[in-house]
Structure 1
Amino acid sequence: MFGKSSTAFEVQVRREGRWVIEASFFEEASALSCARVQMTSGGVEEVKVFKHRSLAGLSLETLVFHKTVPVVKDKPMLLGGTAEGAPVCTGPDGLYSFESRVVINRLLRAFLDKFRITPTELLHSFTYLRKLDEQGILLGAALQAVARHHADLHGFAVPARARELRGFTDVVMTRARDFQAERKRLPAFDPKDLPATSRAIELAVGEARHDAVFLGQLTHHLADRNSLGGKLDLLLDLIDDDSEPRHLALIDGVMADTLGSADVVKDLLGAQPNLAMGLCVLADHILGRDPDPKGEPASALLARVGDLIVHGRTPCCRAVLVDRIRHALNGAQPLDRRDPKKEALLADHLATHLRDGQGRMLGGPDSEKALARRLIRHRQTILREQGMHDIADRLSGR
Structure 2
Amino acid sequence: MFGGTTFEILALREGRWIIEATAKHQEVAQAEAAKILSRAGILGVRVIKEAKGSIDRLKPEDILFEKMKPKTEEKVFIQDVDDAPLCHAPSDLFVGEARATINRLFRNYLDKNNLTATEVMHAPRELKRLLDEGTLLFSAVGKVSTFQVRKMEDATVNQRRDVLFDFISKIQARANNAAEQRLPRIRVDGFNEVLDGIIANAPKEHVSYLIRYVMSVELIENRSFLGKFGQLMEWGWKAQTPQAMEAIDIFVSDTLYNTDVLRDMIGNPRELGTALVTLLCVAEGRPLVEEEEDEEPVELTPEHQDFSNSTFIRLIAAGKLPESKQVLVDRVRRQLEGLSPLTRGDREEEREVFVGLLDKLIPDIDIIGGPSMAQAMTTRQSTIINKGGNKGMREAAETMLPALGDPGRATGYLLAMMDSEIGQTVLRNDLETLLDKLLVHSQTINHLIRDKLPPNKKMAKVTSIYHHIQKSNLPEQRKAALTDRLDELLVSYITEGKILDKLDNPEKPLHVRAFMLVSMVQPEMLPKGKASNLARNIIVGHLRRPNFEDELVAGIPDPSEKAKTLRKFHEQLHRCGFFG
Pairwise same-fold verdict (TM > 0.5): yes
TM-fit CA distance, 1:75:
4.6
1:174 has 2:173 as partner: yes
Matched, 1:243 2:249: no
The yes-or-no answer on 1:114 pairing with 2:121 is: no
Aligned to 2:342: 335
Give the structure, 1 or 2, with the largest relative contact order (CA under 8 Å, sep 6 or more): 1
**Deviation at 1:223?**
2.8
**Corresponding letter in the other structure for 2:374:** E
1:123-142, Cα deviation, whole Å (9 max, x unpaired): 01122111111123211111
RMSD: 3.0
**d(CA) in 2 for partners of 1:264, 1:271:** 12
Equivalent in the alignment of 2:123:
125
Q: 1:205 to 1:292 in 2, by over 3 A?
A: closer
The one of 223, 226, 235 aligned to 1:226:
223
What is the aligned counterpart of 2:258 among 241, 261, 280?
261
Counterparts of 1:397 and 1:202 in 2: how far apart (Å)?
53
Residue 317 of structure 1 aligns with which residue? 324
**Counterpart of 2:132 in 1: which secondary structure?**
helix
Q: Which runs of 5+ in 2 are unaligned?
A: 1-70, 291-304, 396-580
Q: Which amino acid aligns with 2:95?
A: S
1:106 deviates by 0.8
1:158 maps to which residue?
A: 157
Aligned counterparts, 1:185-196, within 5 A: 185-190=182-187, 193-196=190-193
2:205 paired with 1:208: yes
Q: Tell whether 2:132 aligns with 1:134.
A: yes
Structure-1 separation of matches of 2:167 and 2:207: 21
Deviation at 1:193, TM superposition (A): 4.2
Q: Deviations over 1:15-48 (max 9, x none)?
A: xxxxxxxxxxxxxxxxxxxxxxxxxxxxxxxxxx
Q: Larger deviation: 129-138 or 88-97?
A: 88-97
Quote the Cα distance in structure 1 between the aligned partners of 2:196 and 2:308: 30
Q: CA deviation at 1:203?
A: 6.3
Q: Work out the CA distance in 1 between the residues paired with 2:390 and 2:86.
A: 39
Q: Deviations over 1:49-70 (max 9, x none)?
A: xxxxxxxxxxxxxxxxxxxxxx
Structure 1 match to 2:268: 271
CA contact (8 A) 2:255 2:261 kept: yes
- Assess if the C-alpha contact under 8 Å between 1:186 and 1:204 holds in 2: no
User: Is the Cα–Cα contact under 8 Å of residues 266 and 278 in structure 2 kept in the other structure?
Assistant: yes
Match of 2:101 in 1: 103
What's the CA shift string for 1:329-367, capped at 9, x where partnerless? 1111111246565211111111112234x4433212332
Change in CA separation of 1:127 and 1:290 when aligned onto 2, cut-off 3 Å? closer
- Give the residue type in structure 2 aligned to 1:343: E
User: In structure 2, the residue corresponding to 1:240 is in which secondary structure?
Assistant: helix
The one-letter code sitting in structure 2 at the alignment partner of 1:125 is: A
Match of 1:373 among 364, 379, 385: 379
Q: Which amino acid in 1 is paired with 2:175?
A: A
Q: Tell me if structure 2 keeps the 8 A contact 1:81–1:107.
A: yes
Alpha-carbon distance in 1 for matches of 2:126, 2:78: 17
Amino acid at match of 2:111: D
Select 1:345's aligned residue among 332, 347, 352.
Answer: 352
Partner of 1:286: 283
Residue 83 of structure 1, CA deviation:
5.5
Give the C-alpha shift of residue 299 in structure 1.
6.7
1:94 matched residue in structure 2 = 92
Post-superposition Cα deviations, 1:288-327, rounded to whole Å, max 9, x if no partner, equal 445476xxxx976444322212211111111111111111
- Whether contact under 8 Å (2:110, 2:117) holds in the other structure is yes
The separation in 1 between residues aligned to 2:173 and 2:390, in whole angstroms, is 55
User: Deviation digits for residues 269-298 of structure 1, max 9, x if unmatched?
Assistant: 1021211111111111222445476xxxx9
Corresponding residue of 1:387: none
Quickly say closer, same or farther: Cα 1:292–1:370, change in 2 above 3 A.
Answer: farther
> Shift in Å at residue 233 of structure 1?
0.9
Cross-structure match for 1:77? 76
- Aligned residue identity for 2:229: L
| C-alpha separation in 2, matches of 1:91 and 1:190 | 32
Q: Distance in 2 between matches of 1:326 and 1:392?
A: 19
TM-score (norm 2): 0.49
SS in 2 for 1:154: coil
Q: Which moved more, 1:170-179 or 1:342-351?
A: 170-179
Q: Secondary structure at the match of 1:312?
A: coil
Could you tell me which of 184, 193, 197 is aligned with 2:194? Answer: 197
Q: Which amino acid aligns with 2:386?
A: Q
% identical aligned pairs: 26
Q: Give CA deviations for 1:130-181 in whole Å, capped at 9, x if unaligned.
A: 111112321111111111111223343111001110111112122223433x
TM-score with structure 1 length normalisation?
0.70
User: Which is richer in strand?
Assistant: 1
Alpha-carbon distance between aligned partners in 1 of 2:188 and 2:378, rounded to the nearest angstrom? 47
Alpha-carbon deviations, 1:363-386, whole Å to 9, x = none?
A: 1233233233223223328xxxxx
Indicate if the aligned counterparts of 1:105 and 1:261 stay in contact, CA closer than 8 A: no
Aligned to 1:7: none
Partner of 2:144: 146
- How many residue pairs match? The answer is 311
In 1, the alpha carbon distance for the partners of 2:393 and 2:86 equals 34
- CA–CA separation in structure 1 for the residues paired with 2:128 and 2:367: 42
Residues 83 and 103 in structure 1, CA contact (< 8 A), matched pair in contact too: no
Change (3 A) 1:367 1:292: farther
Q: 1:225 Cα shift?
A: 2.1
Check 1:273–1:210 CA distance in 2 against 1; reply closer, same or farther (3 A cut).
same
SS of equivalent residue, structure 2 residue 386:
helix
